[in-house]
Structure 1
Amino acid sequence: MELIIPQNYDPRLSVRETQEAIKYIRDTFQKELGKEMNLERISAPLFVERSSGLNDNLNGVERPVQFDLSGVPGETMEVVHSLAKWKRMALHEYGFQPGEGLYTNMNAIRRDEDLDNLHSCYVDQWDWEKVITREERNENTLKETVKIIFKIIKHMEHEVWYKYPQAVKTLPDDITFITSQELEDLYPKLSPKERENAITKEHGCVFLMKIGDKLGSGKPHDGRAPDYDDWQLNGDILFWFEHLNCALEISSMGIRVDETALSDQLRKAGCEDRKALPYHRMLLNGELPYTIGGGIGQSRLCMLLLDRAHVGEVQASIWPDEMRKECRKNNIFLL
């Protein structure tokens, strides 16, 4: 996606008012998330040891930011892409039980990200993870959890309206569920992103399920790392966003792999060498709890609720000079 400038764009809040609104949204949402989902706030790392296998490999081609530490010779540190695997390990280490979970602030650097209205090299999200039983590893658990998160986001619309009625975006009342195969069957001639846009524009908010495995066309809808989400029990929460005429992903989440799903997905992805890593060995040996978890974009949520055209309006990051100049000319003030 290239830079998109909406016609006659009006942010409706000053930069300082926007900063105040960002803090209000972040403070309020994480409290609601913790309360509604029974999640405890914990601290999380900015980087992990490469040899641990804990970093999120995303689509497998992104390069993590790496460095060494004088105090840990012979080891390479990686700035996290996300905390998808680290959270599950933390639940094990801290003794969380079924029905209990955690959330944390996740900050990441993604050096290979294309920079546009929606994408930044800096990622900030609430990473959350919850222990479930083996019997709860099913689609109903996934859907009920999605409904809770949607309810929290919808409630945030009313919270923001109360303080900033001139700026809040009106959200749909319901979320629609559809699988990636159903979506391909519905729009066989469209690309995956075009399909997402078409279904989300129609319904306003969609949870697109089962992402990662090959579809009938022989290609996956989108790439997913093989070692955290179960590709049959995951999905993305998408909202239609008029300013950019596209679907806005707010959350990627899912029930995590068990021993069988991990082995199967590593084989399909050609990554069976990962079985030798400490995290993967623990999982295959049944030493880690069964969990459900995901990430919820902090800046993306602020962007959605405040109806902003560029993520840089709600997040301090690095942008090309030409992008900054073009945005400023069109009333888009990048932090």
Structure 2
Amino acid sequence: MTKLSRILLNWYHKHGRTNMPWRDHPDPYAVWVSEIMLQQTRVETVIPYFEKWMKLFPNIKALANASEHDVLNAWEGLGYYSRARNLHKAAKIVTSKFNGELPRDLTDLRSLPGIGRYTVGAIASISFGMDEPTLDGNLRRVFARLFDVDVFADSPVGEKILWELAAQNLPKGQAGDYNQALMDLGATICVPKNPRCLICPLMEICEARKNGTQELRPVLKPKKLAPHYVHAAGVIINRGRVLLAQRPADGLLGGMWEFPNGRVVENPAKELTKVLNAAYRLKVKRKEAVGVVQHAYTHFKVTVHAYLCESAPIPKNKNLKWVRLIELDDYPMGKVDRQIAEMIKK
């Protein structure tokens, strides 16, 4: 056991986070769900979603037998919906191919949709007791600072170095605690900005701290300026029902429901009728404005101008559906469309 892992484990056993329900019983399914939910999402946000999910889908077979509609509905609000779709796809594969149990063979485990090297390491170490390292954003930051790694952490070279450091310091037989200790350290002390070095158990052996470079690590490639798009959306209501469109299964917000919309160039109000006709063959007459919603996705920003509309008879389209206003909550939507739905319900 290295000095790093010994100090880290001692700290973890005294100060590790205990408020996370998936740590009470490290069942492989629970660990898998939690790790997927925690990707790019904070713990405090995940906990209520995790508890709700486990009540709805208590095991892999229950998830496999659920409809995609119910899966997306349970995930609504967490974002990055491909995570939910991949969980659902993987659950079906595990049920049919592995009798409803996550495989212990790491090659089989990594072959499942949405499970990469990091998730494999987490499940294998925490649930199966295997001596496997793992590396997420928190752990990249911790190791980049501990060893003052001055190459891009998100480059192939940087990834290789950091994975090797994680493996070299892994204590045999205690990989689960080691990985969770690193997660906790990165989430509570070795945070991205203003790291709490003075209370860090590893301060004395941290190379970046010694060199005064902790605020400069990890080294990341500069982010590109996110483009900004403007959309116009039509809220078409008839006899207590509103027209929704279902997004394609693949891609951003795949399978989710939204108000018919399209990207505009200059004037949302004037271009609304044109974009709805082009996208859905809808012939509408614009009425008053409903509101404006802004949202930032990972790689772009969007502003959506929503308008009440009157429509000619709706053409046949399997992706369009009339939904009762009182049933809008039953249809999974992204944050933008959920805000529009709340506006019209008022």
TM-score between the two structures when normalised by the length of structure 2 = 0.23
Structure having the larger proportion of residues in strand = 1
Higher relative contact order (CA 8 A, sep 6+): 1
TM-score (norm 1): 0.24
